[in-house]
Amino acid sequence: MFYPSNKVAPNHADQLLKQPKASPVFITIDWQCLNYIKSHSGLCLYCSKKHPLSGFDFSYCYKREMWVVYSKQHYYARSLQLGRHIQLAGAKKVLIISIIADASPEVRYVN
């Protein structure tokens, strides 16, 4: 699969080399989720708003289970879009997970 050189990897994607392919990987567009997961010593990839989602290289998602997390309702639509991009990159499974503090956690399946 060919990716143009203008594609960027999400932050912390280099740490995936240490992760077994069978382990689920967190990914987010929400910096609060990123900080929360990292504060608990977890690996979370971050796609900043500086780049459109189509500008990210999601080739690392191939045959991996990816968990898209968000903490606020206004991140929901973009999180679904992120899940769709990851799904199209060949992820084994994509979960969209809401971790809104005031509500019970929700899990939505993309595929």
The 3-class secondary structure across the chain, one letter per residue, is: CCCCCCCECCECHHHHHHCCCCCCEEEECCHHHHHHHHHCCCCEEECCCCCCHHHECCHHHCCCEEEEEECCHHHHHHHHHHHHHHHHCCCCEEEEEECCCCCCCEEEECC
Q: What is the pLDDT of residues 33-56, one digit of tens each?
A: 998 888 888 889 999 888 889 899
pLDDT tens per residue, range 61-103 = 889 999 999 998 899 999 999 999 999 999 999 999 998 655 4
Distance CA 6, CA 27 (A): 21
Q: Summarize the confidence of residues 15-24 as an average pLDDT.
A: 82
CA distance 44 to 54: 19
* pLDDT confidence bin for 110, thresholds 50/70/90: low
For the chain, which residues make up each domain, given as ranges?
Answer: 22-109
- 107 confidence band (pLDDT: 50, 70, 90): low
Class of the domain covering 22-109: alpha beta
Specify the pLDDT at position 3: 46
Average pLDDT over every residue of 4-23: 80
d(CA 92, CA 39) in angstroms, rounded, equals 27
